[in-house]
Structure 1
């Protein structure tokens, strides 16, 4: 019997804003994901990934495309600015094409009273156009700066429960789609 390789999940930090709390939120989620059985978790911080705004070729774009291609699934950690998602996250989605296809994605959002849910709903439309599978469960933090302690932990029961449910859905889709991609090319 051969061992099954862990499912590779890349967590993409979408905010590049000065003073952002995104690394705290992503760090908390990554810790939960790394504890989930059968996952191999990486983090792509768009603040450290200088993708060109003109969507042109660059070494950063090539490296990003390769990482996206190797991943089995994704989690986008997104803030909500003016009822939308960050421009850097849209640039990341637009910088790659075929490598996104048929792969699942979950969302961890944060913001004011809406908790980033409007950004998540808009991103679901974007990823559908990229032929991605958006898992239903998401994680949302309203008034995010009040939700984390100085060690980057939260006691937000709804977020903790949502994270575990989302990871289960993401792992299921990623494993299932990886098997299918291995036998039949995606027809998109």
Structure 2
């Protein structure tokens, strides 16, 4: 007869990195990031770290040998905290607006400076913008992360006309539907994050560049 798992043998919570992709002055991103981090905390299956790209040095000029060929390039010292957080993450949620029907250059730089940090990890998305709710950026990011051997989960959280959805204190006027969408995405990240963490531990991921 099987016995219940003891608390000591229970798997550790997944490490979730919430990557704030916009660095523009006056950006709305911190409001959305705070809201999502609260939902992740309520979910109970994660330890969450919010990574704000505005806090890091992100040169647009990449190393002469791309990370896909030399997976650990010499990165600027100001990027060390970002690299550490991505290395340690079991799952990542990317928070992005739409800029000219795409995602911010700061986010592309952060992605391109790294390679192995994304491999065999699940990626979720939270988007916000005027009309699409960030979906135009998210659909492009799905292609980018596929190239990096990451798995993007199906569910996403989007805020079209975000300036009407949040009040002056940064609280959602009608929180039920967005909270439900966040839970669905977090549930998917738990499944994929757990499965891929176990897979990486028993059979480290490798690919041919």
User: 1:31-110 maps to which residues of 2 (within 5 A)?
Assistant: 31-56=38-63, 57-110=75-128
Structure 1's unaligned 5+ residue stretches are: none
* 1:170 and 2:189 matched: yes
Residues 102, 177 of structure 1: 8 Å contact kept: yes
Residues 74, 105 of structure 1: 8 Å contact kept: yes
How many residue pairs end up in the alignment? 188
Mapped partners of 1:91, 1:136: distance in 2: 24
Q: Deviations over 1:68-116 (max 9, x none)?
A: 1100010000000110000100001001111110000100000011111
Mapped partners of 1:16, 1:110: distance in 2: 14
Mapped partners of 2:108, 2:177: distance in 1: 27
Q: Which residue of 2 aligns with 1:139?
A: 157
Structure 2's unaligned 5+ residue stretches are: 1-5, 64-74
Q: Higher Cα Rg: structure 1 or 2?
A: 2
* 1:125 and 2:132 matched: no
SS at match of 1:98: coil
Residues 61, 95 of structure 1: 8 Å contact kept: no
What is the root-mean-square deviation in Å for CA atoms of aligned residues? 1.2
Q: Deviations over 1:147-168 (max 9, x none)?
A: 1123322124332211110010
Greater helix fraction, Structure 1 or Structure 2: 1
TM-score, scaled relative to structure 2? 0.86
Mapped partners of 1:164, 1:5: distance in 2: 19
Q: Deviations over 1:29-55 (max 9, x none)?
A: 000001112200000001111122213
